[in-house]
Each structure stands twice: as structure tokens, then as C-alpha cells.
């Protein structure tokens, strides 16, 4: 068991080592290619900046290595050494702030608000995004399975074919609807301007009627639905197709001959069989949730990680962009590695493949 855990961790590390530097490189390069002058936006003299809280243009450029080579800036971003004039002694700094970058888990302060540390801000905003993404993930998982079994049952039942066709067309449209449209539709139907069942902005009421957690959950209903419904539709469509294909197998007929009802046979025999290819989809769902959070947070005016990233990109704040992007990449890699591992442990066929191919 522990050997397997070690192997899993090793795989994770290798994938991180490939993906994350690549993401950092892309971000830094894109930032270098961007037109316009960054220091005019963030240093002293920019709109709404006082001399006490902002650096001079020259100091700002030195601090963030804006004039250094791309590779120096890249190494600065990746860490763990701070390469700026106040950085590590090995690289010509004065040693006041030796560590910086992703490997040191130190992203510095925001460019536009030098008094705010990015690490603290990330932690605070994660309190919004993590419940949102986790909730969407769990809801998708819980709803997709019954819906797919129901759809598979319906589509071969004598009377249910037309209903099934209707439902699957609906699911197709739901799958195809872009995230922002889904969110807007939900708000229009269930939000204050529609039936007024759920609030559409923020995370807490100004004058809470409910205990804190319930109030928070009540506010999260619409965002979670907006984030998960598309995924549910996608999963349910795939899963029901798989189930229908599996039903033609001989062992399914054997199960029916042994006296199971169709629903029982589907649930107990076909569903576990259809799951492994879908776990890959779930693993891919994690990056999709991270991306989807950008749109959903914008619609529902939530101060989460996704909106943090978009705001930072629009404000040209490289340090925030680096922090959020690498965080997203780290999470995405975890998702895909975990999904691989789950498939491996659930599906004996993939393990056999390991043995025979070396």
C-alpha cells in the first residue's frame, strides 16, 4: 500500500515538474509580449497612487525584474531564490528577502496594492472558490449517475422512447449552453427577478435570517447549479450511451436471466462497468471547474480565485496572474493524476495492461 502511495506521489511530482514550469513560462512570455508599459500602471504617479505606498518607476522595474532577461524573470517567478536587488546574496542581492517564487510558495505582494500579500489574499479567496467547486463536483457526481440510469431505462422502455428522446435533446442543449448563459438563465428564473427563491449576488445576507452556514449554503445554490449543470448533462449523456451499449453484452442478459430487474442489472452490473472511462472525464472536470469558476464568479459577483485572476490580467499584475495560474495548474494535475490512479484501482483490465507491457 505504501509503495503504491509513493508511486502515486512520484507520478504527481513528475507531472508537476513538467506542467507547472510550462505554465509559468507561457505566462511570463505572454507578459513580455504584451503591448503597453506596465510600470506606468503600477508605480508612483499612476492614477490613485501616493508616493508613500508606491515605488518609483525605476525601483518598481528593478524590484520585479522588468528590464532583466526573460530567463532571469522566469527563474525569479519559479523560485526559490529572489533575484531582485533585495534578493538572495548568491544572485547579487542584499539578502533582505532571499526567497521568492513558486518553489518557495512566496508570491510577494500585489503590484497594484503593495500592502496586500498575495498568499493571504489567495487563502481568503479560496474560501469562496473551494466550496463552490467542491459543491459543484459533488452535485455533478450525485446527479449524473441516477439521471443516466433513468435515461437508459427510459430509452428502451416501450412507452418511454419519446420521453427519453426529449430528455436527451434537453440534456444536449444544456451541455451545449455556454456557462455564462446558463448562469444568467438560472438567475433570471430562480433569482430575485424571477421566482425569488435564491439570492443572486454575494455570499452572505446583510441581515441574515438563517444561521451562518445555512445562509452561506443558500447563497451558494445558484452558483453551484450554474457550475455543475453543464457537467451533469455531459456526464449523463455519455454515461447513458455507454450503459445502452453495455446492455447488449451477454453477461447483462445472464444477469437478467438470473432474475434481476432491468434497473437492478443496470445499477449493479452495468454502472460499475461504465464508470472507469468516465473517471477520466471527472479528472478533466477539475480544470473545467477551475475555468468555469471564472465565469460563474463574474456572474454572481463572488470574490473568488477565478475573478481574482481575471481582474489581475486586466490590471496587468504579473505576480497575481502567476500565482493563480500555477495554483490552477497544480490543482488540474492533481485531478488528472488522481483520476488515472482511480481508474487503475477500479478497473482490473488497466492493471493487467501494466503487467504485460512491462
Partner 1 sequence: MADPLRSLAACVLGALLALAWLAPLVANDKPLWADARDVQAAQLAQVELGAALDQYRTALAADAAATQASTAWTELERAWEQAAARSSAPESEVARVRSTMTDCAKRPERLVDVQRLLAPWLENLELPRVRRMVGSPVLASVDSGALLRLALLPVLACLVFWTARGRLPDGHRLWWALGLAASTVLVWVGLQAVQQPELARVDTYRVERAQVHVDRVLWPLVQHGPAQTQLSEAWSAPGGYTRPNPHWLGTDGLGRDALSRLLHGSAISLEIALLAGAVALALGWLIGTTCGLLGGWFDTLCVRLMETLASIPFLFLAIVVLALVRGRVVPSVTVALLVAAVAWVPVARLVRAQTLVERAREHVQALRVVGIPEGWILLRHILPATLPAAATAAAFLAGSAVGVEAALSWLGLATTIPQPTWGALAGEAGGLERWWLWLPPSLLVALTCACLLVLGDRREEPRS
C-alpha 231/C-alpha 51 separation (Å) is 49
Q: Is 35 in the site for partner 1 (CB under 8 A)?
A: yes
Q: Least distance from C-beta 184 to partner 1, angstroms?
A: 6
187: nearest Cα among 86, 78, 295, 288: 295
Q: Is 30 in the site for partner 1 (CB under 8 A)?
A: yes
Interface with partner 1 (CB under 8 A), residue from 22, 70, 138, 142 = 22
Q: Is 257 in the site for partner 1 (CB under 8 A)?
A: no
Stretch that binds partner 1, among 132-140, 141-149, 210-218, 288-296 (CB under 8 A): 288-296
Q: Is 323 in the site for partner 1 (CB under 8 A)?
A: no
Residue 228 or 336 having the CB closest to partner 1:
336
Q: Least distance from C-beta 27 to partner 1, angstroms?
A: 6
Q: Is 132 in the site for partner 1 (CB under 8 A)?
A: no
Q: Is 18 in the site for partner 1 (CB under 8 A)?
A: yes
C-alpha 248/C-alpha 252 separation (Å) is 7
Buried b (16+ CB within 10 A) or exposed e, 191-216: beeeeeebbbeebeeeeeeeeeeebb
**What Rg do the C-alpha atoms of the chain give, in angstroms?**
25
Residue 93 or 305 having the CB closest to partner 1:
305
283: nearest Cα among 239, 240, 337: 337
Three cell numbers, residue 232: 451533469
Measured CA to CA in angstroms, residue 227 lies from 219, 281, 318 at distances of 14, 16, 27
Interacting positions 179-198 with partner 1 (CB under 8 A):
179-181, 184-185, 187-188, 191, 193
Q: Is 314 in the site for partner 1 (CB under 8 A)?
A: yes
Stretch that binds partner 1, among 147-155, 218-226, 251-259, 293-301 (CB under 8 A): 293-301
C-alpha 249/C-alpha 99 separation (Å) is 60
115-122 contact pairs (CB < 8 A, 24+): 115/53, 118/319, 118/320, 118/323, 119/323, 121/308, 121/320, 122/305, 122/308, 122/323, 122/324, 122/327
Stretch that binds partner 1, among 29-37, 79-87, 137-145, 267-275 (CB under 8 A): 29-37
Stretch that binds partner 1, among 39-47, 94-102, 112-120, 289-297 (CB under 8 A): 289-297
Interface with partner 1 by CB under 8 A: which residues?
15, 18-19, 22-23, 26-27, 30-31, 33-35, 172-173, 175-181, 184-185, 187-188, 191, 193, 284, 287, 290-292, 294-295, 298, 309-310, 313-314, 316, 321, 324-325, 328-329, 331-333, 335-336
Amino acid at each position: 500500500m505504501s509503495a503504491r502511495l509513493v508511486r502515486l506521489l512520484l507520478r504527481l511530482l513528475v507531472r508537476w515538474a513538467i506542467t507547472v514550469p510550462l505554465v509559468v513560462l507561457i505566462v511570463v512570455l505572454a507578459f513580455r509580449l504584451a503591448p503597453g508599459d506596465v510600470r506606468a500602471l503600477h508605480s508612483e504617479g499612476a492614477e490613485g497612487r501616493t508616493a508613500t505606498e508606491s515605488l518609483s518607476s525605476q525601483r518598481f522595474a528593478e524590484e520585479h525584474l522588468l528590464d532583466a532577461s526573460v530567463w532571469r524573470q522566469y527563474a525569479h517567478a519559479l523560485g526559490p531564490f529572489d533575484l531582485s536587488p533585495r534578493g538572495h546574496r548568491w544572485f547579487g542581492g542584499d539578502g533582505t528577502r532571499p526567497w521568492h517564487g513558486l518553489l518557495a510558495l512566496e508570491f510577494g505582494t500585489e503590484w497594484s496594492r503593495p500592502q496586500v500579500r498575495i498568499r493571504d489574499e489567495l487563502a481568503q479567496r479560496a474560501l469562496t472558490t473551494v466550496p463552490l467547486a467542491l459543491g459543484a463536483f459533488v452535485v455533478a457526481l450525485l446527479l449524473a449517475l441516477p439521471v443516466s440510469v433513468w435515461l437508459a431505462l427510459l430509452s428502451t422502455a416501450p412507452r418511454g422512447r419519446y420521453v427519453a428522446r426529449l430528455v436527451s435533446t434537453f440534456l444536449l442543449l444544456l451541455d451545449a449552453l455556454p456557462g455564462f448563459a446558463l448562469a444568467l438563465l438560472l438567475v433570471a428564473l430562480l433569482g430575485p427577478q424571477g421566482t425569488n427563491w435564491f439570492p443572486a449576488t454575494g455570499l452572505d445576507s446583510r441581515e441574515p435570517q438563517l444561521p451562518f452556514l445555512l445562509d452561506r449554503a443558500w447563497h451558494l445554490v445558484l452558483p453551484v447549479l450554474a457550475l455543475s449543470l453543464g457537467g451533469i448533462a455531459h456526464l449523463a449523456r455519455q454515461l447513458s450511451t455507454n450503459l445502452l451499449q453495455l446492455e447488449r453484452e451477454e453477461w447483462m442478459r445472464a444477469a437478467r436471466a438470473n432474475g434481476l430487474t432491468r434497473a437492478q442489472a443496470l445499477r449493479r452490473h452495468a454502472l460499475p462497468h461504465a464508470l472507469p472511462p468516465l473517471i477520466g472525464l471527472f479528472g478533466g472536470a477539475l480544470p473545467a471547474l477551475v475555468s468555469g469558476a471564472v465565469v460563474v464568479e463574474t456572474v454572481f459577483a463572488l470574490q473568488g480565485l477565478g475573478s481574482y485572476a481575471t481582474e489581475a490580467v486586466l490590471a496587468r499584475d504579473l505576480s497575481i496572474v502567476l500565482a493563480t495560474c500555477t495554483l490552477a495548474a497544480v490543482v488540474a494535475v492533481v485531478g488528472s493524476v488522481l483520476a488515472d490512479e482511480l481508474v487503475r484501482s477500479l478497473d482490473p483490465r488497466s492493471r493487467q495492461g501494466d503487467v504485460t507491457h512491462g
